[in-house]
């Protein structure tokens, strides 16, 4: 349906310039650079040697250096090739730069939120409220709906409001709302009241909806029509890069923070449960493993208990 | 310890603390995004300006 509709109804407004080739050098250096940095972050979160995190792994250090080198060479290439994927001089337009910077930061702040909320619900809240692990993915999906509802309801309204009050005011207010929503999320205890949680994520959805379309409109309006294709590509590349980085950044923060508190918390939990002899074992559970074990509904402590039972000489 | 709620309860306080750290940083990013958004300047529509100059 989408194919037929777009083929028959969409009209070309600007004359396509068929002489422009694909910027292979730019595409390859940017893509490879980003992939290497993300791989490095992924392995940086896995235990290496005796350390809970992998930042001392030479492979991680090498990938980060190579990735950053490729991104720098990408920026250099973009100033040299005739038809660059990123037209860097568009950043001289203040509105274009500000809009893209805001969009990129928004993507970093917002991109990993959903997966964190899902881990919180599936790993902690739902099992504590008696849901079986088979049901948690379904209910986690249902319970995060308010985020989407907020975003979707605000979409059309924000278009109308931005015609009245201007895109700058609306996009800025949207981001202030999102930031406030994040601060409100930090006030929740782990056994929170669902209505409170739903209202906060609804608010974050509203803020994001207020920001999105006015900001995109203002980015597109700021460039001359012949550069709109490139501008749109740059905007979505930056947004997707931000989103991908966001997930890596969220996991990095969560795992670094867990690495400092979780081993002792688990050790004191088994001691309180009357099994202090397990304390040394649980202290060596990699935090990445514990996080995903909780998320996947798999209890690493049971595995440890059974392995300890096997290793006790009969 | 064999209960379904034991492991989630054991990791919950540490996990919430970790999540709070992430949310504080997200809030900071969102507020910086708000500042960037406010600094975009007055609304310009590129082609109108160019057409106005040429007239």
What span, in angstroms and rounded, lies between the C-alpha atoms of A63 and A46? 15
Task: Give exposure, A144-160, as e/b (b: 16+ Cβ within 10 Å).
Answer: bebbebbbeebeeebee
Q: Which residues contact A159 (CB under 8 A, 6 or more apart)?
A: A213, A214
Q: Is B7 at the interface with chain A, CB within 8 A?
A: yes
Q: Is B14 at the interface with chain A, CB within 8 A?
A: yes
For residue A312, the model assigns a pLDDT of 59
Is A294's CB within 8 Å of B16's CB?
no
Average pLDDT over residues A5-30: 82
Name the pTM for this structure: 0.86
Domain spans of chain A, in order of start: 22-86, 93-262+292-299
pLDDT of A313 above 60: no
Q: Is A220 at the interface with chain B, CB within 8 A?
A: no
pLDDT of A299 above 80: no
Q: Which of residues 259-278 of A touch B (CB under 8 A)?
A: 261-262, 265-266, 269-270, 273, 275
Q: How far is A62 from chain B, CA to nearest CA, in Å?
A: 26
For residue A100, the model assigns a pLDDT of 96
Q: Is B51 at the interface with chain A, CB within 8 A?
A: no
Q: What's the pLDDT tens digit per position in A28-72?
A: 999 999 999 989 988 888 888 888 788 889 999 999 999 999 999
For residue B55, the model assigns a pLDDT of 54
Low-confidence winner among A5-14, A83-92, B33-42 (lowest mean pLDDT): A5-14
Most confident of A19-28, A62-71, A249-258: A62-71
Q: Report chain A's mean pLDDT, rounded to a whole number.
A: 88
Q: What's the pLDDT tens digit per position in B5-52?
A: 888 888 899 999 999 999 999 999 999 999 999 998 876 676 665 666
Is A261's CB within 8 Å of B18's CB?
yes
Q: Is B24 at the interface with chain A, CB within 8 A?
A: yes
User: Quick one: pLDDT band at residue A300, thresholds 50, 70, 90?
Assistant: low
Q: Is A219 at the interface with chain B, CB within 8 A?
A: no
Q: How far is A261 from chain B, CA to nearest CA, in Å?
A: 6
pLDDT of A75 above 50: yes
Is A179's CB within 8 Å of B16's CB?
no
Is A102's CB within 8 Å of B41's CB?
no
B4, B36, B46 member nearest A101 (Cβ): B36
Chain A neighbors of B17, CB-CB under 8 A: 257, 261
User: Quick one: pLDDT band at residue A314, thresholds 50, 70, 90?
Assistant: very low
B5, B22, B40 member nearest A128 (Cβ): B5
Low-confidence winner among A21-30, A54-63, A130-139, A279-288 (lowest mean pLDDT): A279-288
Q: What's the pLDDT tens digit per position in A197-239?
A: 999 999 999 999 999 999 999 999 899 888 888 899 999 999 9
Q: What is the DSSP string of chain A?
A: -HHHHHHHH----SPP-TTPPP-HHHHHHHHHHHHHHHHHHHHHTS-BTTBSS-TT-HHHHHHHHHHHHHHHHHHHHHHHSSS-SS-GGGGGSHHHHHHHHHHHHHHHHHHTHHHHHHHIIIIIIHHHTT--TTTHHHHHHHHTHHHHHHHHHHHHHHHHHHHHH-HHHHHHHHHHHHHHHHHHHHT--TT--HHHHHHHHHHHHHHHHHHHHHHHHHHHHTS-GGGHHHHHHHHHHHHHHHHHHHHHHHHHHHHHHHHHHHHHHHHHHHHHTT-GGGHHHHHTS-HHHHHHHHHHT--HHHHHHHHHHHHS--
For residue A53, the model assigns a pLDDT of 83
Superfamily of domain A93-262+292-299: MFS general substrate transporter like domains (1.20.1250.20)
For residue A309, the model assigns a pLDDT of 66
């Amino acid at each position: 349906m989408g194919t037929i509709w777009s083929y028959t109804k969409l009209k070309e407004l600007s004359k396509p310039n068929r002489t422009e080739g694909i910027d292979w050098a730019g595409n390859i250096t940017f893509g490879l650079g980003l992939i290497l940095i993300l791989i490095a972050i992924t392995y940086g979160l896995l235990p290496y040697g005796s350390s809970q995190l992998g930042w001392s792994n030479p492979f991680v250090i090498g990938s980060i250096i190579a990735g950053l080198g490729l991104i720098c060479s990408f920026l250099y290439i973009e100033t040299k090739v005739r038809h660059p994927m990123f037209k860097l001089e568009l950043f001289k337009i203040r509105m274009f730069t500000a809009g893209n910077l805001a969009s990129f930061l928004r993507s970093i702040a917002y991109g990993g939120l959903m997966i964190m909320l899902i881990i919180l619900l599936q790993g902690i809240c739902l099992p504590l409220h008696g849901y079986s692990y088979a049901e948690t993915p379904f209910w986690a999906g249902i319970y995060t709906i308010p985020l989407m509802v907020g975003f979707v309801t605000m979409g059309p309204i924000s278009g109308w409001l931005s015609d009245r009050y201007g895109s700058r005011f609306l996009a800025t207010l949207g981001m202030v709302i999102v930031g406030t929503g994040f601060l409100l999320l930090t006030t929740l205890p782990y056994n929170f009241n669902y209505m409170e949680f739903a209202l906060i994520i609804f608010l974050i959805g509203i803020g994001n909806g207020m920001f999105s379309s006015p900001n995109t409109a203002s980015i597109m309006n700021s460039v001359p029509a012949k550069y709109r294709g490139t501008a749109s590509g740059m905007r979505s590349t930056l947004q997707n890069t931000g989103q991908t980085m966001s997930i890596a950044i969220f996991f990095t923060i969560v795992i670094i923070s867990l690495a400092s508190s979780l081993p002792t918390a688990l050790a004191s939990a088994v001691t309180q449960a009357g099994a202090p002899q397990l304390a040394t074992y649980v202290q060596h559970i990699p935090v990445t493993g514990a996080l995903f074990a909780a998320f996947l509904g798999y209890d690493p402590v049971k595995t440890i208990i059974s392995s300890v039972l096997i290793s006790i000489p009969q | 310890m064999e209960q379904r709620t034991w492991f989630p309860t054991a990791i919950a306080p540490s996990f919430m603390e970790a999540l709070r750290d992430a949310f504080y940083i997200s809030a900071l990013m969102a507020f910086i995004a708000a500042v960037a958004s406010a600094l975009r300047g007055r609304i310009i529509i590129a082609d109108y300006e160019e057409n106005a100059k040429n007239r």
